[in-house]
Amino acid sequence: MATTRTLDYWTQRAAEITFDGRAWIDGAARDAASGETFPCHSPIDRRHLADVAACDAADIDLAVAAARRAFDEGVWRRKSPAQRKKVLQRFADLLEQNAEELALTDTLNMGKPISDALGIDARATPNCFRWTAEAIDKVYDEIAPTGDDELGLVTREPVGVVGAIVPWNFPMIMASWKLAPALAMGNSVVLKPSEKSPLSALKLVRLAEEAGLPSGVFNVVPGFGHTAGKALALHNDVDTLVFTGSTGVAKQLMIYAGESNMKRVWTEAGGKSPNIVFADAPDLEEAAKAAASAIFFNMGEVCTAGSRLLVEDSIADAFMEQVRAAVKTWRPGNPLDPNTNIGPIVDEGQLKRVLDYIDKGKREGARLTAGGNRVTDLGDGYYVEPTVFEDVQPEMSICKEEIFGPVLSVVRFKQEEDAVRIANDSIYGLAAALWTSNLSRAHRVARALRAGSVWVNQYDGGDMTAPFGGYKQSGNGRDKSLHAFDKYSEVKATWIKL
């Protein structure tokens, strides 16, 4: 679809698009109880997009009360799975019909290229709802193996009120990974989008209502982490908190749960994923291209970004030449241009973080072989050149810490054991990739890698059937696939004496 649209088309639509920054609580648009708003600016050119309700604890209270009432009254959870499926499929249809508007919203709000917003985010979001909705009238509960005089039932029930807190890098996809299984199971949800990208969630919830989701079942409360987010995490009437974001905030949420009602906490957190290229990779040119897209796609603002490239010493010189050639195909530009593959960084704070890490890399003695600067000839936007550091040592901060920007750290290794040791030497364990044509090595290394997703001879494979989540400080639990239902259900054992 994107290729048939031009920069002029998107520029025109961007000039006409409107946003409603009010929260959505109990089936109605609402200003924050305090009357406060915060401005949303575009990272493309700092244009003012909307004033958004700056919700806090008072609004969270209202939303949680509406969610609880809807749950207790059973307006959604008592519908049959087939009925819930129908509503969620209608919602998916509406998401598809509004794909351009939703994609444009995210591009303007957080800077991702329109081709990606439309081709990836605006497709994956309805697909997530459709896939999950399709599953719910096909999943059975269990009957335990008992003696003749008893009947043991093992059933799944919705948990109740789900609080969902999500980040800005894939605003719609991250929300849908939580919303789809939560709603499919019959729960009520209060979603707190990131203050950096709240606008698509506010459009999404209005479409859900149009699809027939009863009022109070799905509420969106925009606001800051330390106000609205904290209030949701501390709320005594929230049964389960699901989160995607940084490891630091994930840890804080676990503390909030302990300080309040011991709500269940499921987190998808940070990453520093290794991409290991062995000398026997089946196609080094393809591996080099994938190494570049693994870190530069979505400006490197990806939890699974292949930010550590581990290359076998014997091929490193020739392979890095291919990588540097691939890097040149990633050119920062106006994300409204369908030919742009790398847009601006989300905001000034994140831009500073990325530039500070680039400085740190230089000071730590890594060799800068591509990029390294802010792009200044694209106006006021927050653009950074795709950046590559070679001769990186595993203990350097650019190799240990999540930068969340277009900065690649390249480390050389000699033996397979060294590659595995360096790859696993991280507090994170979200994803990892390896490239080899040796089948035994592929399995051996895949097993040894401590990561929730492992890709062989590709980067970032998988679809809705693949569970997604982290080992170690990358989080707990899994999004996507049938495993996602575990977060949104309690398991009940009912034992009947016959």
The residues annotated as belonging to the active site are 268, 303
Among 126, 270, 372, 381, binds ligand NAD (CB under 6 A): 270
Which of 123, 122, 75 has its CA nearest to residue 103? 122
Q: Candidates 222-230, 321-329, 377-385, 391-399 — which segment interacts with ligand NAD by CB under 6 A? A: 222-230
Residue 13 CA: distances (Å) to CA of 22, 41, 102, 118, 220: 22, 17, 12, 14, 25
Query: Number of residues in contact with ligand NAD, rule: CB under 6 A?
Result: 31
In angstroms, give the least distance from the CB of 249 to ligand NAD. 3
In angstroms, give the least distance from the CB of 490 to ligand NAD. 23
Length of the chain equals 498
Considering the rule CB under 6 A, would residue 269 count as an interface residue with ligand NAD?
A: yes
In angstroms, give the least distance from the CB of 140 to ligand NAD. 29
Residue 51 CA: distances (Å) to CA of 106, 348, 390: 16, 18, 43
In angstroms, give the least distance from the CB of 28 to ligand NAD. 23
Q: Candidates 18-26, 87-95, 226-234, 309-317 — which segment interacts with ligand NAD by CB under 6 A? A: 226-234
**205 class by beta-carbon count within 10 Å (0-12 exposed, 13-18 middle, 19+ buried):** buried
Token pair 């009437």 in the structure block, residue: 237
Considering the rule CB under 6 A, would residue 186 count as an interface residue with ligand NAD?
A: no
Q: Candidates 44-52, 238-246, 336-344, 390-398 — which segment interacts with ligand NAD by CB under 6 A? A: 238-246
Considering the rule CB under 6 A, would residue 194 count as an interface residue with ligand NAD?
A: yes
Q: Which of residues 42 and 227 has its CB atom nearest to ligand NAD in the complex? A: 227
Q: Candidates 151-159, 324-332, 364-372, 469-477 — which segment interacts with ligand NAD by CB under 6 A? A: 469-477
DSSP string, 188-254: EEEEE--TTS-HHHHHHHHHHHHHTPPTTSEEE----IIIIIHHHHH-TT--EEEEES-HHHHHHHH
Q: Which of residues 249 and 408 has its CB atom nearest to ligand NAD in the complex? A: 249
Q: Candidates 108-116, 181-189, 470-478, 485-493 — which segment interacts with ligand NAD by CB under 6 A? A: 470-478
Spatial separation of the C-alpha atoms in residues 414 and 487, rounded to whole Å: 41
In angstroms, give the least distance from the CB of 194 to ligand NAD. 4
Considering the rule CB under 6 A, would residue 2 count as an interface residue with ligand NAD?
A: no
- The tally of CA atoms less than 13 A away on the side-chain side of residue 377 is 3
Site string for ligand NAD, 67-106 (x = CB under 6 A): ----------------------------------------
Considering the rule CB under 6 A, would residue 168 count as an interface residue with ligand NAD?
A: yes
Q: Candidates 51-59, 79-87, 99-107, 220-228 — which segment interacts with ligand NAD by CB under 6 A? A: 220-228
Assigned token pair, 460: 């970032």
- 321 φ, ψ to 5°? -65, -40
Considering the rule CB under 6 A, would residue 488 count as an interface residue with ligand NAD?
A: no
Specify the amino acid at residue 104.
L
Stretch 301-340 residues interacting with ligand NAD (CB under 6 A): 303
Q: Which of residues 278 and 404 has its CB atom nearest to ligand NAD in the complex? A: 404
Spatial separation of the C-alpha atoms in residues 281 and 492, rounded to whole Å: 48
- Taken in order 442, 450, 172, 197, the sign of the CA dihedral is negative
Specify whether the CB–CB gap between 70 and 214 falls below 8 A: yes
Considering the rule CB under 6 A, would residue 198 count as an interface residue with ligand NAD?
A: no
In angstroms, give the least distance from the CB of 43 to ligand NAD. 13
Other CB atoms within 10 A of residue 93 CB: 15
In angstroms, give the least distance from the CB of 77 to ligand NAD. 26
Q: Which of residues 245 and 343 has its CB atom nearest to ligand NAD in the complex? A: 245
Q: Which of residues 195 and 312 has its CB atom nearest to ligand NAD in the complex? A: 195
Alpha helices in 81-121, H assignment, sequence order: 81-97, 99-110, 114-116
Which of 300, 298, 323 has its CA nearest to residue 310? 323
Considering the rule CB under 6 A, would residue 167 count as an interface residue with ligand NAD?
A: yes
Assigned token pair, 284: 């080094």
In angstroms, give the least distance from the CB of 174 to ligand NAD. 6
Among 43, 113, 181, 229, binds ligand NAD (CB under 6 A): 229
Spatial separation of the C-alpha atoms in residues 495 and 147, rounded to whole Å: 12
Q: 412 forms bridges with which residues in the sheet?
A: 311
Considering the rule CB under 6 A, would residue 192 count as an interface residue with ligand NAD?
A: yes
Considering the rule CB under 6 A, would residue 244 count as an interface residue with ligand NAD?
A: yes
Spatial separation of the C-alpha atoms in residues 441 and 430, rounded to whole Å: 21
Binding residues vs ligand NAD (CB under 6 A): 165-169, 174, 192, 194-195, 224-226, 229-230, 233, 244-246, 249, 252, 268-271, 303, 402, 404, 430, 470, 474-475
